[in-house]
Chain A
Amino acid sequence: MLAIPSATTLLVGLLALPSGVRAVFRDEVGHIDYHHQLLGLPQRETTFFHRPRKDDQGSLLYTLSDEGVLGAVNPGTGGVVWRQFLAGENKDETTVGEGFARAGEGEGWVASAYGGEVHAWDAVTGRNKFWARFPGKVKDLEVMEMTEAERKDVLVLFEEEEEEKGETVLRRLNAADGSVVWEFREVTKDVPLQVSTNVEKVFVVFLKGTKGGYSLKVTTLDTLTGKRLDELVIGTKANLNDEQDIMLVGANSAAPIVAWTDADHTTLRVNVLGLKTSQEFPLVEGTVEVEIHAPHLIQSQPHFLVHTKTATGNKGEVYHIDLKTGHIAKAYELPLLPGKGAFATSSISANVYFTRITEDELILVSSQSHGVLGRWPLKNTNSKIAPIHAVSEVIKKAGTDGNYAVRSAALTADDEWALVRNGEVGWTRPEGLSGGVAAIFAEIPESEELAKSLEQEAHSNPVQAYIHRVKRHINDLQYLPGYLNNVPARLISSIAGTDVTSSAGKLSRDSFGFHKLVILVTKRGMVYGLDIGNSGAAVWRKRAFQIPKGQKWDVKGIQVDESSGQVTILGAKNDFAVLKTETGQILSAKAPSSEATTQSTALVDTASGQRLLRIGRDGKIGSLPVDKAPKQTVVTRGPDGELKGVVFLADEKTAHESTSWTFSVPEGQRIVSIATRPSHDAVASIGRVLGDRTVKYKYLNPNTIVVAAIDDKAWTLTVYLLDTVSGQILSSAKYNGVDPTKSVECAMAENWFVCSFFGQYTLRENSAQSLRGYQIVVSDLYESEEANDRGPLGDASTFSSLDPVDVPTGVALPSVVSQTYVMGAPISALQVSQTRQGITSRQLLAYLPESHGIMAIPKMLLEPRRPVGRDATPAEMEEGLFKYHPAIEIDPKSVITHERDVIGIKKIITSPAIVESTSLVFAYGVDIFGTRVTPSFLFDILGKGFNKVSLVSTVLALFVGVTMLAPMVRKKQINLRWSAPM
């Protein structure tokens, strides 16, 4: 007898399929998805070339970026060798660029400090060598090039602030294991700035006094014991006003210096550390910024370069320090050149070289004399390189005397990182794409001419329209040869399964709706147009505003108007920018003011169409013209954090805001997350057919929001479902033992919402059992508890949240079904997939901050009605329910980023494609990642798995077979006719 699997096991097998989600195929990698592996903008002080192994010739390029990513880049290819996301573990906001990184010459490690943590990493593998966390904040990090031992140790300067009395701590850490060799403590009001060393001493530089009249204090310490040897106060003649004006350089060099300028940048004062006197040097007229470049090695000659930047040009001056007397003398100067330029220092044994990169050439000079050692004009520059700062590596070629090779990595004004090798641009990395604060999908605008002529045809009489149309078609014939030329290539690529890249960089829509633009806004004031049909490459980049250093562009809202092809960006400081989505042309813009005036923005429907509404501080909107007043209730946050429902009451010309309801959370609670239904939330079916052919009707109220409020003392999380028209609580749930220090996030779509948090509590059902872990609660909303019942509203096509219903039960409250699942890892940036009609089932997309991936959890798995404690009945199985299991492990098959290491994702956005099966996904933060997800599999188009070659070859084989058989058959038939009758 045959062993036929029983019907039930077959059913189980089939129904379990949807829970095993559609993973990515290996051949789809790079075809449906794209990833920009980014570091963030390299910082001037924390970027360097370093030879990771003493004996190896090759060096790597290291940087600690403004995003808090420490990484090693291969200078040959521009590829990332390893990355460590230091900011990911330091959740407390440290301001931009407050990280430090150094490497000791000839050592196989790189030291970094971020927040309160000090790390040392293996320079080749990126593995941790040691790490330590100390109280306070790191102010500086330095590697001691010369110690009494064989090794090179790490000096870390900390500032501890405790109850207004500051304490400065300098620690010397053993580079072998991270243990503290010695510690120097000083309770002082002075601000520690920097630590420097020369051969025998350690210098700690403090800022003394108050703003407007600072002076400098230099404390000298013994390298062996950390004991204080001396303390000097350097008079600044009350010229030092701002911490920003101090430049501290030349740590580890034979003669470390400190330099500062006055507020007007007219003179530069330089002090050789350890001496009491400082020297004065005049600066060029109109100087706006001064930088000092000096070598970081003890054996290097004590030379430094002063780089002065004016509004239009820049120049360099080289100074030499006399080691015996400490006298500084100007050696030579490099001419003032127009445009942006950068200098970089490199040293080969005692020799110091300065590389100058301007917008059109690379110049190498020695610190000894002004003779140009090498000059390379910049070649093949498609995009102009306007260097901001750079690092260089100089190699003196053996044999041929006086020949040098230089490679420089420069940060450009367009937020790109470019490597110039002897004048040729080796690679550019689009580091500006990191630090995204807002992004939105936009359709590729159809050609304006076509739209215009179509409009013209629509408005003219039929005969004229027909003639116009025929003329247009005849005119279109000129493109026919080109089209025909393209046909073979398209046919071949279609059969071979390769992508047809949109030709000649021209943007065009495709029939599936996969080719769209993503408008990405970064915190640095840049706006990018990314072509997601072409691996997310930037089509255009525009700097909307110059954001001052240390500040962020706080974008509150972004909206695309598809009909006009414009994107509107609203910022917090009453600023805005309107750009064309296709070209990035800035149509109008207003720069940020000094004060934040905007709380948030809301996308509202008005009489004049959809509009992005600016909500002021404390939730004030003010009066609006009638045609710009929102039709819906706008939910804002009041001054005390309460929620307000604001409606607009129109009189003749203006509409005045009026608070219709207020919702305050109980005392002790604070709102941590608010989720709304997405603006495109298509629902295909209003009900859910159960296994017994009855229907449970979904509660589909468009005016609902989910508010999660946490109590920091009682460790409880309360989740409210609010009606935004009436402000009424439709449902609420309280969860005990929720960690307020870990992230709580909610998401909402259709008739369900989810919240994730870290929970640790004992069960009420069984107090002997407790539970801990990252959890996700899913709640489904139905119109009624019972099936085939539409609740108090019945079949009414409309309803009002404000008017009472004609039944004694009052306002129709949804029936809530909830279930909790324990996640295998923390999740954040929750988003729900969107498809065109909403027929496709949904996936919850979530970033995994620890595993650096994005997970797609099918809604089928997050189903609150899964039977608990028993196997599903056949009726339930038919519905797609299977037995409840509390744990959801991170199934690698459900990770849509698969093997990619995607770091620092802050937000995920989704958009429907034209084909129903597919939802477009775009994630931004530090990295950029985009893909397409098909939650119910690819049911409406042929995937890559469809073998066109075998289809075509089968058809061809059949054709050959038929043509060969036909004469044979004909012959046989003729023979049969002519054969003698039997």
Chain B
Amino acid sequence: MRIPTLLLSLLGAAAATTALSHTHHHTPQTSLKIYIPPSAPLPNPAALPPQTRATLNSLTKHHSAPLSEASNFHFHNVTPGSYLLDIHCLTHAFIPLRVDISSSSSSPSSSSSSSSEGDHPLQIEAWETFRGNDWGNKGEKVSAEVSDTKNAVVVVARMAGSKSYFMERSGFSVLSIFKNPIILLSLVSMGLFLGMPKLIENSRFPPKISYEFFFVQQKGGCWKKGGIC
């Protein structure tokens, strides 16, 4: 997909509606919790560094929340809109999520509907999203449910894995030399070059025979004449 740089159209209708809500007093607000569950790369979320933060971003809006003791991110006073949720962590990478907060209760969705901090029924849905892809291209839906005592919606974060910052030094080992086919070939040819003459010599002339052969050659006549020289 190509993102045009010079040829961009005006804002889409969807984007415009979310971004136009500037006034804070009369727009409905909600609370939102992001929960980091234990997972394979991180069995114990309590091990995450304390400076881990989550951000919700959309045009002219920015929310940020610190990591809590219970491995949650608690967002307050979030207005309706479609947000990009990122979790910024030093040790682990997380999958970006799309979080939609809409006031329309018309679409019957099984996922959630909550009322908090202002008695406005707001619906929160979350999906995986793909960076550099169409915003409408939603991935797998992420569970978002009211499971909190304070009626806040809890979205479960997805971890991509732990971050490895360092390069491995390729250690030197003698065996690795012998894995090289060129070294193997040259070893074989060296073996042939050095070993062959000896092999030929040894197989053709065993010591005894060669002595006799030498004797025969030197004094061959004597032998035939009856053994007296």
Binding site for B on A (CB under 8 A): 22-27, 82-85, 89, 119, 121-122, 125-133, 177, 715, 733-737, 739-742, 758, 760-765, 767-773, 775, 777, 779, 818-822, 824-825, 848, 850-853, 868-869, 884-887, 889-890, 892-893, 895, 898-899, 901, 903, 945, 947, 950
Contacts and interface: CB of A to CB of B under 8 A. Distances in A.
A771 B11 contact: no
Given A129-B68, A824-B131, A850-B88, A892 B50 contact: no
Contacts of A763: 3-4, 8-9
Contacts of B165: 23-24, 892-893, 895, 898-899
A820 B64 CA distance: 26
B5 A132 contact: no
30 contacts: A23-B166, A122-B69, A125-B46, A127-B50, A129-B68, A133-B76, A735-B5, A736-B8, A736-B11, A742-B62, A762-B11, A764-B4, A765-B7, A769-B135, A769-B137, A770-B14, A770-B135, A771-B133, A773-B131, A818-B5, A819-B3, A819-B5, A821-B132, A822-B3, A886-B133, A887-B133, A893-B167, A899-B91, A945-B170, A947-B172
Contacts of B170: 945
B2 A884 contact: yes
Given A715-B60, A767-B9, 17 more contacts: A22-B167, A23-B167, A121-B50, A125-B46, A126-B50, A127-B50, A129-B69, A735-B8, A736-B11, A737-B8, A769-B1, A772-B15, A824-B86, A852-B90, A869-B2, A889-B131, A893-B167
Nearest to B214: A982
Interface in B125-139: 130-137
B51 A85 contact: yes
Interface in B141-155: 150
A84 B66 CA distance: 9
Nearest to B15: A760
B59 interface: yes
A209 B166 CA distance: 62
A85 B88 CA distance: 14
Contacts of B57: 742, 758, 772
A736 B53 contact: no
Contact of A737 (B59, B136, B167): B59
A841 B59 CA distance: 35
Contacts, number: 207
A128 B167 contact: no
B102 interface: no
B19 interface: yes
A885 B57 CA distance: 22
B149 to A, nearest CB: 9
Nearest to A719: B5
B19 to A, nearest CB: 7
Given A737-B59, A772-B58, A886 B50 contact: no
B136 A769 contact: yes
B6 A733 contact: yes
Interface string B17-36: 00100000000000000000
Interface string B56-92: 0111101011111100001011000010101011110
B3 A901 contact: no
A795 to B, nearest CB: 30
A122 B49 CA distance: 13
Nearest to A132: B76
Contacts of A772: 15, 57-59, 82, 84, 135
A825 B89 CA distance: 11
Interface string B84-116: 101011110100100000000000000000000
Given A772-B84, A850-B53, A762 B12 contact: yes
B163 interface: yes
Contacts of B164: 892-893
B129 to A, nearest CB: 9
Nearest to A715: B59
Nearest to A903: B51
Given A85-B51, A132-B76, A760-B19, A24 B167 contact: yes
Contact of A84 (B19, B51, B90, B150): B51
A126 B91 CA distance: 16
B62 to A, nearest CB: 7
B186 to A, nearest CB: 18
Contacts of A887: 130-133
A24 B166 contact: yes
Contacts of A125: 46, 50, 69
A129 B67 CA distance: 9
A715 B67 contact: no
A851 B135 contact: no
A848 B46 CA distance: 24
Those 7 A-B pairs whose CB atoms lie nearest each other, nearest first: A886-B132, A887-B132, A126-B50, A762-B12, A898-B165, A850-B88, A887-B131
A24 B59 CA distance: 36
Nearest to A716: B8
Contacts of A901: 49, 51, 90
A329 B169 CA distance: 72
Contacts of B88: 825, 848, 850-852
Contacts of B131: 773, 822, 824, 886-887, 889
B65 A131 contact: yes
A898 B166 contact: yes
Nearest to A81: B50
B134 A770 contact: yes
B12 A770 contact: yes
Nearest to B130: A887
A769 B137 CA distance: 9
Contacts of B14: 770
Contacts of B82: 772
B10 interface: yes
A734 B84 CA distance: 24
Nearest to A778: B5
B141 to A, nearest CB: 19
A733 B10 CA distance: 15
Contacts of B96: 824
Contacts of A736: 8-11
Nearest to B89: A851
A651 B57 CA distance: 57
Contact of A119 (B66, B69, B93): B66
Nearest to A2: B181
A903 B9 CA distance: 37
A884 B2 CA distance: 8
A733 B136 contact: no
Nearest to A135: B24
Contacts of B60: 715, 739-741
Contacts of B19: 715, 760
A509 B1 CA distance: 51
Given A24-B166, A128-B67, A768 B136 contact: yes
Contacts of B10: 736, 762
A865 to B, nearest CB: 13
B217 to A, nearest CB: 11
Contact of B67 (A127, A741, A899, A903): A127
A895 to B, nearest CB: 6
A175 to B, nearest CB: 13
A735 B8 CA distance: 7
A947 B174 CA distance: 14
B97 to A, nearest CB: 12
Given A129-B68, A735-B5, A764-B4, A769 B134 contact: yes
A169 to B, nearest CB: 16
